[in-house]
Amino acid sequence: MAGTREVKEQVFISTIALMNVLGCSILIAIILLVIIEGLSAIDLEFLTAPAENFGAEGGIVSQIVGSIVIVIGAALFSLPISLGTAIYQTEFLSHPQIKNISNTLIYLLNGVPSIVFGLFGLIFYVHLLGLGVSWTAGSLILGTMIIPTIIVSIKNAIESIPVKYREAGKALGLSKWKVIGSVVLPYSLHGVVTGLLMGLARAAGETAPIMFTATVFSGILFPSSFTDPVTTLPTHILYLSFEATNPQTLVNAWGTALVLLTLVFLMSVIALYIRWRYKKW
């Protein structure tokens, strides 16, 4: 009996080990493929020139700029809201049931498919607020989408601040706001930055919510007003793949993917580094 159990266990362990190897290999294969295929498209011109001939020629500078603009806009919108919500929930909301409900809402919001945010944005930001198809609408949509991620990260950081620091502050006579300003915020700053970067990394790679609310394929170099649309890296990849019959277009799609991957990867790595480096306890 013991023998068969051991065998079963061995089989089980081998199976999950195989899954693990398989999972990692797929990931590595994708990354390698993007790097290998992408590198052949990338040169200085690709990074600094605008697209030409429907993306078959030229570069992706306006897509890089567009992605950065839209992501910065998302950051400016989501950060104050997330910070305010996290502080309100941890410092002022004491009713356990309301706390629970709002926590559940945040987790649910995190699970909403991004296309739904796009649809919401189309109705609310594009039409109702009259922003039109514009980078501002895209920033607001992506910002809305990543708010839960940022809130959760900030709340985790705030909740892991040892109680003794708050109490030492209170015992010195600091008011509630002073404790927030000189204990809670500084000691959860790593969570703020990490959450923001993780959220933005996700926002930078999204296509669905912005392709019909914020971006156009071409015809725009840099936005010159709040209501201008932009072109972005992920939507550029999408449009280029539609033209897959032209081999040069496909090469450029890989190149764009590599740039996007690098951007997102950088943000994630910085986020992880900050989380690791600034954990004080």
Partner 1 sequence: MVTNMKILQVINFNAWFGESHVLKDINLELEENSITGIIGPSGSGKTTIMRCLNRLNDSNSTYKYDGKIIFDGEDIYETKMPVHHLRQQIGMIFQVPCVFPKSIYGNMIFGLKNLKLMKKSEFPGAVEKALKAAHLFDEVKDRLHEDAKTLSVGQQQRLCIARALTVNPRVIMMDEPTSALDPKSTTAIEKLILELKDKVTLIVVTHNIEQAKRIADHVVFICDGRVVEQGEKNEFFTNPKKEETKEYIKWTRCECE
Residues that bind partner 1 (CB under 8 A): 94, 96, 164-165, 167-176, 178, 181-183, 187, 280
Considering the complex, state which of residue 103 and residue 182 has its C-beta at the smaller distance from partner 1: 182
Nearest one of 225, 215, 227 to 131, comparing CA atoms: 227
DSSP-based three-state secondary structure for 13: helix
State the Cα–Cα distance between residues 249 and 56, nearest whole angstrom. 4
- The span from the CA of 170 to the CA of 55, in Å, is 60
Least distance in angstroms from the C-beta of 94 to partner 1: 5
Q: Please state, in angstroms and rounded to a whole number, the distance separating the CA atoms of residues 172 and 69.
A: 44
Give whole-number Cα distances, 207 to 15, 178, 180, 219, 238, in Å: 35, 42, 37, 19, 8
231 close to 220: Cβ distance less than 8 angstroms: yes
CB 86 to partner 1: min, Å = 18
The minimum distance between CB 15 and partner 1, in angstroms, equals 46
State in angstroms the smallest separation of the CB of 155 from partner 1. Answer: 17
Cα distances (Å, whole numbers) of residue 87 to 10, 102, 185, 192, 229: 49, 13, 9, 11, 34
Task: Compute the least distance from the CB of residue 83 to partner 1, in Å.
Answer: 20
When the beta carbons of 2 and 171 are compared against partner 1, the nearer one is: 171
The nearer residue to partner 1, 111 or 173, going by C-beta atoms, is 173
Q: Which is nearer to partner 1, 97 or 245 (CB)?
A: 97
CB of 212 to partner 1, least distance (A): 47
As given in the structure block, the two tokens for residue 96 are 């356990």
Q: Which long-range contacts (CB under 8 A, 24 or more apart) does 51-54 make?
A: 51/218, 51/231, 51/236, 54/217, 54/218, 54/243, 54/249
Distance of CA 75 to the CA centre of its chain: 10
> Is 155 or 166 the residue whose CB approaches partner 1 more closely?
166
Q: Shortest gap between Cβ of 279 and partner 1 (angstroms)?
A: 11
Q: How far apart are CA 169 and CA 178, in angstroms?
A: 8
Q: 100 to each of 95, 146, 161, 235, how far by Cα in Å?
A: 9, 20, 20, 37
Tell me the closest approach of the beta carbon of residue 179 to partner 1, in angstroms.
Answer: 9
